[in-house]
Amino acid sequence: MSASVLFDAPGPKARRRNLILGVIGCLIVAAVLGLAIWKLADKGQFDSYKWKPFTTASLWQNYILPGLRGTLIAAALAVVISAVFGGILAILRLIELPPRSSGAHYPVLAIKWLVGAWVEVTRAIPVLLMMLFIFGVLSANGMGSGNGPLIATVGGLVFYNSAVICEVIRAGVGQLPNGQREAGLAVGLSAGQTVRLILLPQAITAMLPSLISQLIVVVKDTALGYNVLYGELLYTSKPATANNGNIFAMLVVIAAIYIAINYAISKFAEWVEHRLQQRGRTAGGPADADTNLGGPSTVAPVAGGPAGQ
Amino acid sequence: MSSLFSDYDIWSALWTTIKLTVFSAIGSLVLGTIVAIFRLSPVGILRFFGTSYVNIFRNTPLTLIILSCSFVLYIQLGVALADSNAQDFAAVNAFRLAIVGLTVYHATYVCEAIRSGVNTIPLGQAEAARSIGLTFGQSMREVVLPQAFRGAVVPLGNTLIALTKNTTVAVTIGVAELSAVLKTVTERDPGSLNLAFLVVGVFFVILTLPMGLAVGWIGQRVAVKR
């Protein structure tokens, strides 16, 4: 075991105590799991007829795979559109304020203030609320079916996630040394060019792991589309359980699909982070040196954003 | 505006949202701390249980978890969390099932917040504490845990904000909280949709913005200067 800040390396006594604690912990967990399994078995949730449909192609072709497709389409659209909008919002928030003497001072100040307020408000409003609102507006205009649910789902996701991506990028720029901006301005780039050509590429690279983790949030949040009748995994698969009441089995399978997708994304994010750290170490830029000294991250992981180390 | 408030019982919806937030926050703080203890323990198998819990429930959509509470826990397994003879059985039962779902889901974030608080402490702190002769208990009490709690304040606060917003998912199993108002308005009176969205949205801004400011302020005050 690697050195831990919480515990000393165990001696013989501590090892014995750890063993006892481990056994007690196992017993408690086994009791909880056992109770759950016993309860499920008691209600016949493990009966073979409830699980048999999952071995047939029709269930997958008619229910689960179309739902998975819906989930992935919504997630992909939401990610691409939010990335574009998030980038634009970030550029607007990052532009250097012109001096007070120049005529552009107050217009730029107004834009920055408006964008800031927009980002704060869209981050504060729950995604589901946004989806329900867009869906309500669409169905009032006779677009409740067809593409309406998709638009509502993606729209809700975009409003929220573009603001989050903007803030992640901004935090990334905040971590860059001040000299980067100054150097950009000094070689004659305009304020906008400095942000676009110098700051953003570095910030996006540095924050890549956080941005990839945000992908997990997007994939999970497509499930909110259930409430606006969008054909994602849950909504499409649930009718398949109407006949033999195997909703438990269905939810287990769907959860497994979600866990597999999201776990893969989180491992990918970890891999990217590892790669970036190695690069920092070998190429030896002092610029990267202070990004990983700990201390609370400047990014607020809103709505269960990238947590975990 | 006043008709909106009287027709759709917005105040009681707001109160339901607040109650959901408070109860789930307490629940997930308790459960999350237990999971964090598992994940941080020196016993390998317990760490494995803690990690598994986090990986399973953090990668599952909240909608699915809350749906499971209603469809599996209540309908299939018959676990009712309210007095089945009471008149408001359906509402109370759904409300409590939603709390269960929110608790299970957000406990993973609480666990990760606590863990990140511990992870910000440099190993040298514990080593220094032991080398000046503090016992294990003393170094925990005086050096390690105070820093861990301070480091966990900001991520815990952010989890609370996320939880407040995620209470809207309870509408999936028919809990009459703020987003349920929006759903009902859409069905019954699309004309007042804009107003309803504005009102409900403002409520959420009022609930979460001060939390965000407080978290930032407290976070700065308790931050460990390194």
Please tell me which residue, A142 or A309, carries the higher pLDDT value: A142
Asked whether the predicted pLDDT for residue A302 surpasses 60, the reply is: no
| Cβ contact, residue pair B204, A129, below 8 Å | yes
Asked whether the predicted pLDDT for residue A286 surpasses 80, the reply is: no
pLDDT of residue A174: 87
Q: How far is B85 from chain A (nearest CA, A)?
A: 23
DSSP helix, strand, coil percent of chain B (3-state; round to 5): 85, 0, 15
Compare all CA atoms of chain A with the CA of B189 and give the residue at the minimum distance: A140
**Token pair for A166:** 């903007």
The per-residue pLDDT of chain B, averaged, comes to 90
> What is B2-222's CATH number, 1.10.3720.10, 3.30.200.20, 3.30.1330.30, 1.10.10.10?
1.10.3720.10
Confidence label for A280 from pLDDT (cuts 50, 70 and 90): low
Provide the 8-state DSSP code for A304.
T
Residue type, A15: R
Contacts of B225 in chain A (CB under 8 A): none
Residues A99 and A105 sit within 8 Å (Cβ to Cβ): yes
A40-49, A204-213, B28-37: which has the highest mean pLDDT? B28-37
In terms of C-beta density within 10 A (0-12 exposed, 13-18 middle, 19 or more buried), how is residue B67 classed? buried
Q: What is the pLDDT of residues A226-273, one digit of tens each?
A: 999 999 999 999 888 887 788 899 999 999 999 999 999 999 999 998
Interchain contact A26–B (C-beta under 8 A): yes
| Cβ contact, residue pair A303, B162, below 8 Å | yes
Please tell me which residue, A74 or A100, carries the higher pLDDT value: A74
Please tell me which residue, A211 or A304, carries the higher pLDDT value: A211
Closest listed residue to residue B28, CA positions, set B99, B92, B118, B116: B99
Kindly state which CATH superfamily the domain A52-279 is placed in.
MetI-like (1.10.3720.10)
Q: What is the pLDDT of residues B165-223, one digit of tens each?
A: 999 999 999 899 999 998 888 888 888 888 999 999 999 999 998 998 999 899 888 88
Measured from the Cβ of residue B205, the count of other Cβ atoms closer than 10 Å reads: 15
Residues A296 and B154 sit within 8 Å (Cβ to Cβ): yes
Those residues with Cβ within 8 angstroms of residue A157's Cβ, 6 or more apart along the chain or in another chain: A74, A75, A78, A82, A127, A131, A218, A221, A222
**Residues A125-131, mean pLDDT to the nearest whole number:** 93
Q: Which of B21, B55, B156, B158 to mutate to test the interface with A (most CBs of A within 10 A)?
A: B158
Q: How far apart are CA B28 and CA B34, in angstroms?
A: 10
- Residue of A124, A126, A220 with shortest CB distance to B179: A126
Please tell me which residue, A51 or A282, carries the higher pLDDT value: A51
Asked whether the predicted pLDDT for residue A90 surpasses 60, the reply is: yes
Query: What's the complex ipTM?
Result: 0.89
Confidence label for B1 from pLDDT (cuts 50, 70 and 90): low
Asked whether the predicted pLDDT for residue A98 surpasses 60, the reply is: yes
Q: Which of B64, B175, B200, B213 to mutate to test the interface with A (most CBs of A within 10 A)?
A: B64
Please tell me which residue, B109 or B189, carries the higher pLDDT value: B109
**Residues B118-134, mean pLDDT to the nearest whole number:** 88
Compare all CA atoms of chain A with the CA of B171 and give the residue at the minimum distance: A227
Q: What is the pLDDT of residues A142-187, one digit of tens each?
A: 877 788 999 999 999 999 999 999 999 999 988 888 889 889 989 9
**Residues A10-29, mean pLDDT to the nearest whole number:** 90
**Residues A43-71, mean pLDDT to the nearest whole number:** 88
Residues A160 and A128 sit within 8 Å (Cβ to Cβ): no
Closest listed residue to residue A79, CA positions, set A135, A153, A133: A153
The per-residue pLDDT of chain A, averaged, comes to 85
Q: How far is CA A276 from CA A208, A269, A289, B27, in A?
A: 9, 11, 12, 38
pLDDT of residue A281: 54
Interchain contact A232–B (C-beta under 8 A): no
Q: Domains of chain A: which residue ranges?
A: 52-279
In terms of C-beta density within 10 A (0-12 exposed, 13-18 middle, 19 or more buried), how is residue B3 classed? exposed
| Cβ contact, residue pair A296, B115, below 8 Å | no
Contacts of A218 in chain B (CB under 8 A): none
pLDDT of residue A3: 59
Please tell me which residue, B187 or B25, carries the higher pLDDT value: B25
**Residues A208-215, mean pLDDT to the nearest whole number:** 90
Those residues with Cβ within 8 angstroms of residue A27's Cβ, 6 or more apart along the chain or in another chain: none
This prediction's pTM: 0.87
Measured from the Cβ of residue B153, the count of other Cβ atoms closer than 10 Å reads: 19
Asked whether the predicted pLDDT for residue A8 surpasses 80, the reply is: no
pLDDT of residue A235: 92
Q: Which of A1, A4, A6 to mutate to test the interface with B (most CBs of B within 10 A)?
A: A6
Interchain contact A66–B (C-beta under 8 A): no
Q: Domains of chain B: which residue ranges?
A: 2-222
Contacts of B212 in chain A (CB under 8 A): 124, 300
**Residues A35-60, mean pLDDT to the nearest whole number:** 87
Please tell me which residue, B5 or A84, carries the higher pLDDT value: A84
Measured from the Cβ of residue A8, the count of other Cβ atoms closer than 10 Å reads: 13
A189-198, B18-27, B113-122, B128-137: which has the highest mean pLDDT? B18-27
Alpha helices in chain A (DSSP H): 12-42, 48-51, 57-59, 65-94, 105-124, 127-140, 148-175, 178-186, 191-193, 200-206, 208-221, 233-237, 247-283, 286-289
**DSSP assignment string, A59-105:** HIIIIIHHHHHHHHHHHHHHHHHHHHHHHHHHHHHHSPPPPTTSTTH
Q: Which of B4, B47, B63 to mutate to test the interface with A (most CBs of A within 10 A)?
A: B63
| Range of weakest confidence among A79-88, B14-23, B24-33, B115-124 | B115-124
Angle at B83 between CA B78 and CA B87, to 5 degrees: 115
| Cβ contact, residue pair A125, B201, below 8 Å | yes
Confidence label for A130 from pLDDT (cuts 50, 70 and 90): very high
Tell the residue number behind the tokens 């001072």, with chain if given.
A105
pLDDT of residue B67: 93
Q: How far apart are CA B193 and CA A236, in angstroms?
A: 27
Asked whether the predicted pLDDT for residue A283 surpasses 80, the reply is: no
